Amino acid sequence: MSSARAPFRSREIVGEPLQRATLGGGLRLDVFPKEGWRKTYALLGTRFGGIDLDFRSSVNGRRNRVPAGVAHFLEHKMFEKKTGDVMDAFSRLGGSSNAMTGFHYTGYLVESTENTAACLDLLCDFVLDPWFTEALVEKEKGIIAEEIKMYRDDPAWRGFMGLLENLYGRHPVATDIAGTLESIAAIRATDLDLCYRSFYRPDNMFLVVAGRCDPNEVEDIASAVLARHGRDRDHTAVERFPRAAGGRPARRHRREKMPVQRPKFHLGWRIDGEALGASPMELEIALEMALGYLFGRGGPIFPALFREGLLDDSFGFEVYAESDYAFVIAAGDSPRPEEALKRVRAALEAALAGELDRGELRGMRRKMIGDFVRSFDSVSALCWNSFECFAKDADFADYGRATRKITNERVEELARRALVAEFSASHVLEPA
Amino acid sequence: MPRTRIFEARELATGVTLLHHRASKWKTETVRFVFVDRPDHRVAARAVGAHLLRHGHRRCRGLESVSRFFRQQYGGGVDSHVAIGSTRHLLTVRTNVVGGRHLPGRPDTLGRAMGFVAKVLREPWFAAPSFDVSIFERERANLLRAIDAVREDKSRWADQRLREEMFAGTPLAIPAHGRREDVEAVTLDEVRAALEATVSEAPILIYSVGERDIDSVAEAVMPALGEVERPALRVKKPAVPPLRTRPRVVSEVEDIAQARLAMGFRVRDWDPKTDVHAALFGDILLGGGSTSKLFKEIREKRSLAYSIWSSLDGAPGALVVSAGVDPAHLGRVQSLVRRQIAAVAEGRISAEELESARAGIAKSLAGTWDSPEAMVQFDLAARLGRRRERSPEALLARYEKVGVDDAAAIFRRLELDTVYRLGPEKRS
């Protein structure tokens, strides 16, 4: 087999090797072999997630609108095969498998310490060779309905989705990844088949393996599975119909009641990365650096509001910078959530009106470089970070260098232009 | 595979044990001090104190200064928290930094972090007269928020309420952060006294993972230790309430979409020394993952739940089954759970279930070696649970001797103690 092997391109990141190749059908492969490790973590994923509800596909030659939650439903059903439940097969091999669906990706993983080759073969095989029946689709609806209800009872998720609805209105980002009880009731096996054939194409997928492994063996296994199912000759074409990423929020503010112990606020900014001239990675690094300082425990905003009792330990922020959309969310508990929103907004505006402290930005840069190095201590973090970068057309291997290179001026410029009051919205959860 | 211990142990003084794992495969280096105290009247004060330790020492005061200091060390920091470990109340103070050799200029990140931790333990800012008392008020409020956060996480709340009902009147019923009313009532002086007592007098396990040798780690941690003599670490069997003659059902009402079910069982005549391995094996067969009986029967076959699992607390010999289900199916799920427990008790375990359980245990134990956190938790569980096996391989060998009959024998001694149900409407 070695004669047909795609050549590896080797890189070294923080003293560790990364082997990279493109396999049949365009499947991208990254391998991080790690000496002295017992575990192997493998992740095979595709750029297909909760927001992909409207697309034209060469599978049927039509524009298709599919029910919300279809990517997540598909993820659940992938584990069922004619031969039985894939989880059982992994368990017999001593591997543990799981999957996750995000807004714009779905990833399948297996973690093993024994029978690593067999586990990798099984991972590639079940993801690259699906099997759906109407009866099994119907059976899964009860399980997914319980999952949806579980998230409905989760205040953090309710607040997060409430804010996204305010920011994005009817944009698919504001649709729950798992869908609704009504939308999943409408899902049929034919929907799953169409989505699978449209998006689970090798050229839209990424395999990353980290830990105890031999890159050549990984490549041989993945290539053999691609050939076994004829997936190395897959030529499906798909056109997505994304909605505008930028724009004003659909609604500025909304209050909602649910059984919570304390009021919770979510504050967000809708960002058009393309209009800012920033790649998703550059935008993410700039905003993480600026907000890590501004919203951090040692920054100009948190300590004062903490002392006043307006913010507490729950306060934090997240940056989502993807190819099709970008937003920032800051959230926390507060006894006076409206006042906390007002004060956080005002303090942020004041801080961004001046020059950000150079020493603090230098400290944040160091921290982010440290976090990047730290991520190599976890094979799961390494695989998921790599995959999430792939899903946004970025390269995880460039992250450390990009963090070192971005200038303070660029960080300030992007923060000022992205965190604009006009594109901001908020949401408050009050005790029922 | 050699059955070596994970940590090289060195007694630095009576009641002070340094446990070091030397390895260069990680980018980070970690040192954690685990103070092993009693779950007594000072639980809440200790929990508030853990929050206050994050505010630094007398010469580096407040979150701003601490945060700035650690950003200069390429991230990491001091994390302090409390937890329940077997029958003990643990105060953990931990620092984790990227090793200097992976950073530009090769800074001595661990040395600086250890110097910081030593000062935090010996001269915490909150113990000084200059301490801003309003920070105490805020941190106490922070802890109350953390308590409320458990209340908002329905699954954790159901498990906590079940435990409170099962072990009412004993330390086993007290959450790691204490009761809400105790936290509300605690004063700064009580917190100072509790932390002073724990840090100066409780036995300490110091865990270290990194590329230095044990001598250099011992030298680095010494400044953090005081002169006061400590007792040696001893773990006793917990006091548990007598078994109930009839199971108790506690139903609480909340306007939520999904009902939460927590069923608590006790093992009759529980002896952790002889019973724990077979009980844990039975627990894995019953509800330990995606091939367990509960998952297969209740989720996969009948689509009645998204999440369902079991867990064993080896100190009192309690098995808890937790699930999120449609309120209309609560009764049905309860009876199905009991049927699956009966199946284990009767030894009705398929070859496939057995193979999966054994493979899962082997994988989980082997993976311990790849995570400093997992290594510490493994060793801590062994010491506090008085388990003899101090390496994953030794424990695996012990599990290999456990058969289906052993697990069945334990499950035949299971008695349903309490059922806790949280849902949108009251059910008797």
- List pLDDT tens digits, range B14-51: 999 999 999 999 999 999 999 999 999 999 999 999 99
**B258-280 average pLDDT score:** 95
The encoded tokens of residue B151 equal: 């209340």
**B308-319 average pLDDT score:** 96
| Å between A286 CA and nearest CA of chain B | 17
B258 with A211: Cβ contact below 8 A: no
Q: Which residue has the higher pLDDT, A131 or B77?
A: A131
Its pTM stands at 0.93
Report the pLDDT value the prediction gives residue B2, as an integer from 0 to 100. Answer: 46
Report the pLDDT value the prediction gives residue B426, as an integer from 0 to 100. Answer: 55
Residue A11 vs residues A74, A183, B104, B338, B409: alpha-carbon distances, Å = 35, 45, 19, 55, 56
Q: Which residues contact B28 (CB under 8 A, 6 or more apart)?
A: A374, A377, B76, B96, B97, B98, B99, B210, B372
Q: What is the 3-state secondary structure (H, E, C) of chain A?
A: CHHHCCCCEEEEECCEEEEEEECHHHCEEEEEECCCCCCEEEEEEECCCCCCCEEEECCCCEEEECCCCHHHHHHHHCCEECCEEHHHHHHHHCCEEEEEECCCCEEEEEEECCCHHHHHHHHHHHHHCCCCCHHHHHHHHHHHHHHHHHHHCCHHHHHHHHHHHHHHCCCHHHCCCCCCHHHHHCCCHHHHHHHHHHHCCHHHEEEEEEECCCHHHHHHHHHHHHHHCCHHHCCCCEEECCCCCCCCCCCCEEEEEECCCCCEEEEEEEECHHHHCCCHHHHHHHHHHHHHHHCCCCCCCHHHHHHCCCCCCCCEEEEEECCCCEEEEEEEECCCHHHHHHHHHHHHHHHHHCCCCHHHHHHHHHHHHHHHHHHHHCHHHHHHHHHHHHHCCCCHHHHHHHHHHCCHHHHHHHHHHHCCHHHEEEEEEEEC
Report the pLDDT value the prediction gives residue A372, as an integer from 0 to 100. Answer: 96
Report the pLDDT value the prediction gives residue B77, as an integer from 0 to 100. Answer: 84
Contact A123, B286 (CB under 8 A): no
Q: Which residues contact A319 (CB under 8 A, 6 or more apart)?
A: A283, A284, A287, A288, A291, A326, A328
In chain B, residues with a C-beta closer than 8 Å to the C-beta of A298 are 63-68, 71
Residue B132 DSSP code: -
Strand, coil or helix: what is B407? helix
Cα distance between residue A165 and residue A170, in whole Å: 7
Report the residue of A73, A91, A288, A357 to disrupt the B interface, i.e. the one with the largest count of B CBs within 10 Å.
A91
A312 with B153: Cβ contact below 8 A: no
Strand, coil or helix: what is B294? helix
B145 with A37: Cβ contact below 8 A: no
Report the pLDDT value the prediction gives residue A245, as an integer from 0 to 100. Answer: 81
A91 with B371: Cβ contact below 8 A: no
Report the pLDDT value the prediction gives residue A307, as an integer from 0 to 100. Answer: 86
For chain A, residues with pLDDT lower than 70 are: 1-4
Residue B135 vs residues A109, A331, B245: alpha-carbon distances, Å = 44, 21, 49
N-terminal to C-terminal alpha carbon distance within chain A: 64
Report the pLDDT value the prediction gives residue B428, as an integer from 0 to 100. Answer: 39
Report the pLDDT value the prediction gives residue B267, as an integer from 0 to 100. Answer: 97
Report the pLDDT value the prediction gives residue B63, as an integer from 0 to 100. Answer: 87
Cα distance between residue B343 and residue B292, in whole Å: 12
In the predicted structure, residue B427 carries a pLDDT above the cut 50: no
B145 with A314: Cβ contact below 8 A: yes
In the predicted structure, residue B1 carries a pLDDT above the cut 50: no
B138 with A312: Cβ contact below 8 A: yes
| Å between B382 CA and nearest CA of chain A | 22
B154 with A373: Cβ contact below 8 A: no
pLDDT band at B136 (very low <50, low <70, confident <90, very high): very high
Which entry of A12, A16, A75, A308 is annotated as an active-site residue? Answer: A75
Residue B124 DSSP code: B
pLDDT per residue as tens digits for the range B90-114: 999 999 999 998 998 899 999 999 9
Inter-chain CB pairs, A–B, below 8 Å = 181
Nearest to B72 among A39, A262, A363 (CB): A363
| Å between B199 CA and nearest CA of chain A | 24
Cα distance between residue A287 and residue A79, in whole Å: 37
In chain B, residues with a C-beta closer than 8 Å to the C-beta of A33 are none
| Å between B293 CA and nearest CA of chain A | 12
- The share of chain A scoring above pLDDT 70, in percent, equals 99
* A412 belongs to the catalytic site: no
* ipTM value for the complex: 0.90
Length of chain A: 432
Report the pLDDT value the prediction gives residue B3, as an integer from 0 to 100. Answer: 54
Sequence-distant contacts of A131-134: CB under 8 A, at least 24 apart:
A131/A80, A131/A81, A131/A82, A132/A77, A132/A189, A132/A192, A132/A193, A132/A196, A133/A189, A134/A188, A134/A189
A370 with B255: Cβ contact below 8 A: no
In chain A, residues with a C-beta closer than 8 Å to the C-beta of B362 are 94, 113-114
Strand, coil or helix: what is B303? coil
In chain B, residues with a C-beta closer than 8 Å to the C-beta of A142 are 303-304
Cα distance between residue A402 and residue A282, in whole Å: 7
Cα distance between residue B289 and residue B360, in whole Å: 9
